[in-house]
Amino acid sequence: MKQKRFLLTESEIPTQWYNIQADMPNKPLPPLHPATRQPLGVEDLAHIFPEECCKQELNTTDSFIDIPEPVLEKYKFYRSTPLVRAYELEKALGTPAHIYFKNESVNPLGSHKINSALPQCYYAKQEGTTNVTTETGAGQWGAALSYAASVFGLEAAVYQVKISMQQKPYRSSIMRTFGATVEGSPSMSTRAGKDIITKNPTHMGSLGTAISEAVELAMTTPGCKYTLGSVLNHVAIHQSIIGLEAEKQMEKAGEYPDMVIACFGGGSNFGGIAFPFMRHNILDGKTTEFIAAEPDSCPKLTRGKFDYDFGDEAGLTPLLPMFTLGHDFKPANIHAGGLRYHGAGMIVSQLIKDGYMHGVDIPQLETFEAGVLFARTEGIIPAPESSHAIAATIREALKCKETGEEKVILFNLSGHGLIDMTAYDQYICGDLQNYKVTDEEIAKNHIGV
Amino acid sequence: MKQKRFLLTESEIPTQWYNIQADMPNKPLPPLHPATRQPLGVEDLAHIFPEECCKQELNTTDSFIDIPEPVLEKYKFYRSTPLVRAYELEKALGTPAHIYFKNESVNPLGSHKINSALPQCYYAKQEGTTNVTTETGAGQWGAALSYAASVFGLEAAVYQVKISMQQKPYRSSIMRTFGATVEGSPSMSTRAGKDIITKNPTHMGSLGTAISEAVELAMTTPGCKYTLGSVLNHVAIHQSIIGLEAEKQMEKAGEYPDMVIACFGGGSNFGGIAFPFMRHNILDGKTTEFIAAEPDSCPKLTRGKFDYDFGDEAGLTPLLPMFTLGHDFKPANIHAGGLRYHGAGMIVSQLIKDGYMHGVDIPQLETFEAGVLFARTEGIIPAPESSHAIAATIREALKCKETGEEKVILFNLSGHGLIDMTAYDQYICGDLQNYKVTDEEIAKNHIGV
């Protein structure tokens, strides 16, 4: 019988994260202060974020960073996650490709987000913080942060995108179960939220609005730090545990990926699985192809502009050099809240410019078709976000069927979709549609001003 | 750093199930034909169940039964499941006890039920069946069966207890995602359902009503077999994979359980984790204590009578020798649908009579308090059913705190509660209550007539 799952023993779990910034031939451009347009230092960021996260954010010299012992201890609650060979999916597609997936859906709270929530809360606690706040789209990050805050004895306040709160009420319940406070964004509890609602009373929220509100709360509340689930460099560093494990696991499987695929919202799960492999493209002449799968309703990688832009809708964050659709871009209400973000992280944006990776945009219906096929073959109902990676994988596997190539494809199953059953119900009833954005809709938004 | 999780390699996964019937000093009394009151043979059961399941049901001679290769292959999608040392829960309780749990919540569909759904569907398919039907309480079994049916190319029709359908609409969506048909029970689609509704138009259903309807569908539909998620002996055989793995994993942890605890509805997850260890009480003089945790609103183990009774509300099944509250007992609408069943399995009933195990009944609020503590410490939101096992474990761990004993406690985390967030919400808002059943309520029900 062929081996299906590949696991690591606790002693094989990596004890360091990987920081691709140190190995990039062209470093990302620096984040700028929005008023002075001067590059930011650790001290400029540290009033919002835990200081250690700020240092990691700007660290372009250390390829590997030690995982603190208390974080490693919590990782061992659930890591390593399985690397799984998707034999049944391969069979259903009739492809000669070898499809592997890294199963982050079995983590506490059901997604990869916990990998960064734990260190962010640990550092916050170490530095004397009492409260943390954040935004959440699909709710995966908010749930993970609520748990991590409870683990390290912090109070948590979460701004959840309003549309996602309606689509997935269970996620708010999960956060409350861990003792967190949850507000729908845009809310009336911050100045940023009130401004947004005043301009657009029916605004259903986006990651951009929720970030504005959480940043404002952190800036105006003593002892409160802001945490972010994606986009930023330190998040990609923490998430590298996924790819570092996968590297060892692929070795156990006796293969090396020709392609690495992940869905793309701000880049946390993509960077997590991709960067440790991309390192070998940069340093060792490997030629793995890296594909970031985004919704065609929010296509910043494939149709955005590279420029300095704000990370949030209200313009409270530093200016970040990134592929963006404009910080006031309002993505359609697709059932993949984690991907409804206007910009890409600084690292990913530079890597795209330098040709190390590329994006692919996928219509909503294709993602659900892929998700249902995956569920019926591999037994796991994927998060609609993760279904973007599955759909991109299926496209590539079907190309292999055409050409007869036995390519090795690795994708990241970033989370399960058990909280997203309303969306599956709508799909099965034929009530979902595609929302490909037009060039006109993209053109009317604002970048960096 | 102390080891947290214990896993098996694929080659260490057991290739045989354990059948405690072969080792029991007193075999269970035989099931009887309801009309003739004569013991049933394989041929009497085989028009309802897959024949191989019937043989296993009545097998009192083989201690170990080979797991068919195609089933083992599917087991390897997700097995072994982790054995986890609950250090954080121990710390929160301040107990010297060593608490371990077997984590079946990371299985496809989120519970242990898949362990028996796969072989039942495999045998049905092998024997030429085209359709399977079943009942489901909490929906865990229905979801697992829907997936297993899709894996082996069978059509599935599921009768879901009406109250549970309202409490957990996502479970019906999950079943539909795998292509199953789902009906709320009691329904108007069967004679049994219509009879029940006629007598009691507001009947919110129970496992007893849903079994009646599924059995009727199987009996009246050519090519359709009935499958059951608990109660019966062959289900306990399939679920023994849990305890057989745990035995090897406890050995890796260098300990042996003084106590094994599981929640109890029909006995599938209890038998699964307990019987492989109980074997050593029967054969090798071990003195492990076995505790089945049931709701105090449905206390058949602690307050039921041992007698022949029907397995379903309408009286369509064979008469089974069991501890029962009466087949027309209507359990309160607690948020633990999987435990709302009037009777215990034949094996468990005999084992209780013979003093190998005992039940403990737990109020609803205590189970939710335990569930929230477990979530906040170990990071997994448990199914309300599983929280009964956690509550019983906490009681024992707190006794150890009193006495200073370092007992080794193993419990089964049969499933996660991500589909049960409505219940957690109600608990957190103070909207749940206890429903301890009175002696008068028990006395008015019917046993075996």
Query: Could you tell me if A149 and A288 lie in one domain?
Result: no
Choose one of B167, B194, B228: the last residue of a domain.
Answer: B228
Closest CA of chain A from B73, distance in Å: 7
Q: B410: helix, coil or strand? A: strand
- How many Cβ pairs closer than 8 A exist between chain A and B? 124
Contact A379 B72 (CB under 8 A): no
Query: Could you tell me if B362 and B389 lie in one domain?
Result: yes
Nearest CA in chain A to B170: A421
Strand B155-161 vs strand B181-185: parallel, antiparallel, or unpaired?
parallel
Q: Which chain A residues have any C-beta within 8 angstroms of a chain B C-beta?
A: 1, 3-5, 7, 9-10, 69, 72-73, 76-78, 84, 88, 106, 108-110, 114, 147, 150-151, 169-170, 173-174, 176-179, 372, 375-376, 378-381, 418-419, 421-422, 424-425, 428
- Smallest Cα–Cα separation from A255: which of A412, A404, A85, A388? A85
Contacts of B376 in chain A (CB under 8 A): 147, 150-151, 177-179
The CATH number given to whatever domain includes residue A182 is 3.40.50.1100
pLDDT score for B360: 98
User: Which among B76, B176, B379 is the nearest to A108, CB-wise?
Assistant: B379
Query: Could you tell me if B290 and B354 lie in one domain?
Result: yes
Contact A419 B418 (CB under 8 A): yes
Contact A77 B5 (CB under 8 A): yes
For helices A140-151 and B364-378, angle between their N-to-C axes, nearest 10 degrees: 90
Contacts of A418 in chain B (CB under 8 A): 110, 170, 174, 418-419
Distance linking the first and last C-alpha atoms of chain A: 60
Residue B224 within a domain: yes
**In this structure, are residues B134 and B229 in contact, taking their beta carbons and an 8 Å threshold?**
yes
Q: DSSP string of B381-407?
A: -B-HHHHHHHHHHHHHHHHHHHHT---
Query: Could you tell me if A209 and A337 lie in one domain?
Result: no
User: Which among A69, A151, A177 is the nearest to B424, CB-wise?
Assistant: A177
Query: Could you tell me if B329 and B424 lie in one domain?
Result: yes
Choose one of B228, B257, B277: the last residue of a domain.
Answer: B228
**In this structure, are residues B109 and B118 in contact, taking their beta carbons and an 8 Å threshold?**
no
DSSP type of residue B416:
B
Residue A102 within a domain: yes
Choose one of B228, B263, B290: the last residue of a domain.
Answer: B228
pLDDT tens, residue order, chain A (449 aa): 789 999 999 999 999 999 999 999 999 999 999 889 999 999 989 989 999 999 999 999 999 999 999 999 999 999 999 999 999 999 999 999 999 999 999 999 999 999 999 999 999 999 999 999 999 988 999 999 999 999 999 999 999 999 888 888 899 999 999 999 999 999 999 999 999 999 999 999 988 889 999 999 999 999 999 999 999 999 999 999 999 999 999 999 999 999 999 999 999 999 999 999 999 999 999 999 999 999 999 999 999 999 999 998 888 889 999 999 999 998 888 888 889 999 999 999 999 999 999 999 999 999 999 999 999 999 999 999 999 999 999 999 999 999 999 999 999 999 999 999 999 999 999 999 999 999 999 999 999 87
Instruction: Specify burial of residue B306 (Cβ count, 10 A radius: 0-12, 13-18, 19+).
Output: middle
Residue A16 within a domain: no
Distance linking the first and last C-alpha atoms of chain B: 60
Residue A196 within a domain: yes
Query: Could you tell me if B103 and B139 lie in one domain?
Result: no
Residue A144 within a domain: yes
Residue B16 within a domain: no
Query: Could you tell me if A275 and A397 lie in one domain?
Result: yes
Domain that holds residue B160: 114-228
Contact A379 B110 (CB under 8 A): no
**CA dihedral over B420, B421, B422, B425, signed as positive or negative:** positive
* Top mean-pLDDT range of A203-212, B217-226, B330-339: B217-226
Distance CA A392, CA A411 (A): 9
Query: Could you tell me if A439 and A351 lie in one domain?
Result: yes
Contact A10 B5 (CB under 8 A): yes
Query: Could you tell me if A424 and A290 lie in one domain?
Result: yes
pLDDT score for A208: 84
Residue type present at position B187:
S
Contact A428 B4 (CB under 8 A): no
Query: Could you tell me if A279 and A376 lie in one domain?
Result: yes
Query: Could you tell me if A211 and A270 lie in one domain?
Result: no
Contacts of A1 in chain B (CB under 8 A): 10, 69, 72-73, 76
Residue B426 within a domain: yes
Tokens coding B107: 């299985």
ipTM value, please give it. Answer: 0.91
Domain count, chain A: 2
Residue type present at position A312:
D
Residue B47 within a domain: no
